[in-house]
Amino acid sequence: MPKKNSLKHTLETMAAQGIRSDAPKLKRDMCSQFSDTNEWIREYVVNAYDAGATTCRIYGKEEGDIQSIYVADDGRGMNSHRIRLFFTLYQSEKNDGIERPVGRHGIGKLSVAAIPEQCGFVLMTSDGHEAWRAETGSLLEEHPIDLQRIEPVPERGTTFCIKFKKKKPLAKVMSELQQVLYKYVRYLPLQIRIFIPADDESSAEQWEQIGSPWELDGAAFFQSYELDLFGSSFEVVMSLGDGTHSIYQNRVFITTKYNLLSHDLDTQWHIPYLSLRVDSPDFDLPFGRHCLSNEEMLPPLTREIRTQLLPQFLNNILPYYERSDARGNIYNIEAMIAALCLFDGRFSHPWTLWPVFRQVNGWRMSLNELGKKIRETGKLYLADEEQEGIDYEFFDGPVMAKSQPGRGLETIEKCFGARLINLQQQDLVMEAPSGTHPELTSAEQKFARSLGFHPEALKMQLQDKETAETAFSFVDKEKTRGTIKELEKAKSDLQNVNWRVSHLVERDGKTPCLRHRFLTRGEDVVLNLYHPDIKKLVKLAETVPALACHWAIAMCLVENAHILKHLSAEEREDVLLVDAMAKLSQGKPLPKQQGYKTGSSKRDELWTFIRSAMDRHSLADK
C-alpha cells in the first residue's frame, strides 16, 4: 500500500508540474539537425511566406567584431499572443487561411542558434494594430526576453536581427546565404532580395534577386502532372535538364537523396538529362528537413512516374526530336533514351522505339529495330573508325558507329553482346559476310553434315547383348558404361553446341584468315574452310567422314577450353573416347588392330587405332 500511494503521489506531482527537460541540451540537439548552419535563412524566409508576405529583404551590418543579419518582410506580423508562441518551442499557429503552410514544428525560429557564437536576437513586429520589440541574447541559453511595446504602430511586417561574433568577412557571409536561398527557396512565390556588400575595391555592392519560375526555370520540354495516390496529392515535373531528382514541399526544396524513377526497384536507374521534381504537402519532414519521415510513400509514387508519366513525357517530346526542333538538346535526348534502354530494354517499352543508335552510314536505329535485324542476320558489327579503307557496305549485318550517345555503346553490348563482332579488336577473326566468299563445295557440305556428337551409336552397341561381346572387345565395357553415364548428364550441353563450317576472314571482312582453324561465338563452333588443316579434314571426309568429323571435334576441344567449359580434362577425354568409338564403329564391330598388345592401356590402344587410321589418310602429322 505505501508503494502504491507513493507512486500515485509521484504521478500527481508530475501531472501538476509537467515533465521537465534540460532545455539548453534539447535546443543544442535540435540545432544539430541542420546540416549547414546557414540553413537558418531558409527557415526565416519560409516563415515570411507562411505569414503572407509578398517581399522579403535580407541585409547585413558590422559593428566592431559583431555582425548582424536582418530579415525583413511585409507579412501580417504578430500580436502579443503570437510573440509568446514564437518564443515557445513546438508552438506555431498557422491558421489564418494560408493554403500551403511550409513550417509545421515551430522550431525553425531556433535555427539561428546553430550559427557559431550567436549572441543576440531582436524581433520587431507589427500587425497594423499593435507593435512589439523583443530582445534577448543567445537562444541556446536561458537569457531573459525584454519585451517592449512600440508606439506609434508602424505598417505591418516583421524584422529579425540575428547577431553573432565575426568569423569571416560580411561579404562572404552574405554570399553563402545567397547560395542557400537559391538552393532552397528560389521557387517560392515571394520576392526575395539579398544585399551583397563589396568584398574588395574592384567589386560593387548590389541587391540580388532570388527567384526562378517553377514552370520552366531554363529546362527544356517541361511537363507537369498532377497525381493523387492513396489520398496524397503530388505535382510531378519532368524536364530535360541536369538529371537531378528533387523533392519539394510547397515549392521549398527538401532533398535530392531519392531516386524518383526507381525507388521501388532493386537496381537504381541513373538516367542522364532526365530531371524530376516532386512537390507534395503530404510529405512529413524531420527537424532538419534533409529527408522524408514517411519514405513509404515513395515506392508507389516512383512506380507511377516510371510506368505512367515517363511514357507520356517521351510521347510529348518525340515530335520535337523527329523534326529536329530540339536543336542543342538532340544529344541529351538520345543519351537519355540510350540509358533507359540500358536499364530496361524490353521491346514493350516506348523508349525502345526511338531511333538513337548510330550506324556508320549516318542512319539511326531503335533498339527494337536492331533486335529485329539481328534476328534476321544473326550478327551485329561495331566499326573500327580509326582503320581507313574498310567498305562497310558489304557487311551482312548492321555496322554500328563506335561513338554512341551517352551509354549507348554499353547498351548495345549488354543487349546484343553474344552477336556483337567488334571490328576494333586487332586480332579479330570472323565469318566472311554473305556474298564475299565462295559457295560450299559438295565435299565441304558433306563434311559439314558429319559434324557433331553422336554417342547414341555407341550406347546402342552396348545395349545390344548380341553384339556387346564383340563390338568393343578391347575396351573396358564397365569403364565405357561409366563414361556414357557421364555423357548422359551433359547430353543437353552437347546437343546445344552448334558445329558449322564457314570461311573466316580478317577484320576488314575480305582477307582470308589463315591464323585460326576455328572460332567460337556463344554456343557456335565454326571451322575455317580457308585454313589448310581444315581443308585436309574436308578431303578426308570424302572417304571417311566420321573420322574427319571426330578429329575436327577433338581438335576444337583440345585447343579451346571454353567449349563445354564445365567439363574437366578427364571428362573431355572421356567424351572424345566415346565419340571416337561411336563414329568408328558405325554399328559394326571394330576391326582387329595389328600390333595389339594384351597388357597395354585400353584407352591408349583406341587412340593408337585412330592414329593409324589417320596415317592411312596422310594426316598423321595432324
Tell me the per-residue pLDDT of 190-214, one tens digit each, with 9 for 90 and over: 999 999 998 876 678 899 999 988 8
Query: What is the pLDDT at residue 37?
Result: 83
Amino acid present at 341: C
pLDDT tens, 45-81? 999 999 999 999 999 999 999 999 999 999 999 998 8
C-beta atoms surrounding 532 within 10 Å:
10
| Torsion sign over Cα 452, 456, 459, 465 | negative
Residue 101 has pLDDT above 80, yes or no: no
Spatial contact of 365 and 373, defined as CB atoms under 8 Å apart: yes
Tell me the pairing of strands 399-400 and 380-382.
parallel
Residue 102 has pLDDT above 60, yes or no: no
Residue 250 has pLDDT above 50, yes or no: yes
Q: What cell was used for 399?
A: 555496322
125, β-bridge pairs: 132, 158
How many angstroms separate the Cα of 117 from the Cα of each of 112, 140, 311, 503?
10, 10, 52, 82
For the chain, report the end-to-end CA distance as a whole number of angstroms: 105
pLDDT tens, 282-293? 999 886 678 899
Q: What is the mean pLDDT of residues 499-506?
A: 90
More confident residue, 99 or 491: 491
Q: HSE on the CB side for 26, CA within 13 Å? A: 8
Measured between alpha carbons, how far is 419 from 431 in angstroms, rounded to an integer?
Answer: 12
Highest mean pLDDT among 1-15, 287-301, 476-490: 287-301
Q: What cell was used for 524?
A: 557456335
pLDDT tens, 154-169? 999 999 999 999 999 9
Tell me the pairing of strands 191-196 and 206-210.
antiparallel
Measured between alpha carbons, how far is 113 from 24 in angstroms, rounded to an integer?
Answer: 11
pLDDT band for position 588 (50/70/90)? Answer: very low
Model confidence pTM above 0.95? no
**440 burial type by CB count under 10 A (0-12 exposed, 13-18 middle, 19+ buried):** middle
Spatial contact of 448 and 489, defined as CB atoms under 8 Å apart: no
Query: What is the pLDDT at residue 356?
Result: 94
Measured between alpha carbons, how far is 69 from 173 in angstroms, rounded to an integer?
Answer: 9
Q: Which residues touch 519 (CB under 8 Å, ≥6 apart)?
A: 429, 430, 431, 504, 525, 526, 528
pLDDT tens, 111-120? 787 788 889 9
Spatial contact of 518 and 526, defined as CB atoms under 8 Å apart: yes
Tell me the pairing of strands 55-63 and 191-196.
parallel
Measured between alpha carbons, how far is 570 from 486 in angstroms, rounded to an integer?
Answer: 11
Complete domains list, the chain, with CATH: 32-210 (3.30.565.10), 220-320 (3.30.230.10), 344-424 (no CATH), 442-616 (no CATH)
DSSP single-letter state for residue 307: I
* DSSP letter string, 564-618: TTTS-HHHHHHHHHHHHHHHHHTTSPPPPPTT--TTS-HHHHHHHHHHHHHHHTT
The angle subtended at Cα 303 by Cα 298 and Cα 306, nearest 5°, is 120
Spatial contact of 588 and 511, defined as CB atoms under 8 Å apart: no
Residue 593 has pLDDT above 50, yes or no: no
Spatial contact of 617 and 537, defined as CB atoms under 8 Å apart: no
pLDDT tens, 325-371? 666 788 899 999 999 999 999 988 999 999 999 999 889 999 999 99
Query: What is the pLDDT at residue 591?
Result: 46
**Cis omega (within 30 of 0) for bond into 350:** no
Spatial contact of 364 and 358, defined as CB atoms under 8 Å apart: yes
Measured between alpha carbons, how far is 480 from 486 in angstroms, rounded to an integer?
Answer: 10
Q: What is the mean pLDDT of residues 31-38?
A: 69
In 237-297, where does DSSP find H-type helix? none
Measured between alpha carbons, how far is 292 from 196 in angstroms, rounded to an integer?
Answer: 33
Measured between alpha carbons, how far is 111 from 184 in angstroms, rounded to an integer?
Answer: 15
Measured between alpha carbons, how far is 468 from 476 in angstroms, rounded to an integer?
Answer: 12
Mean of all residue pLDDT scores within the chain? 81
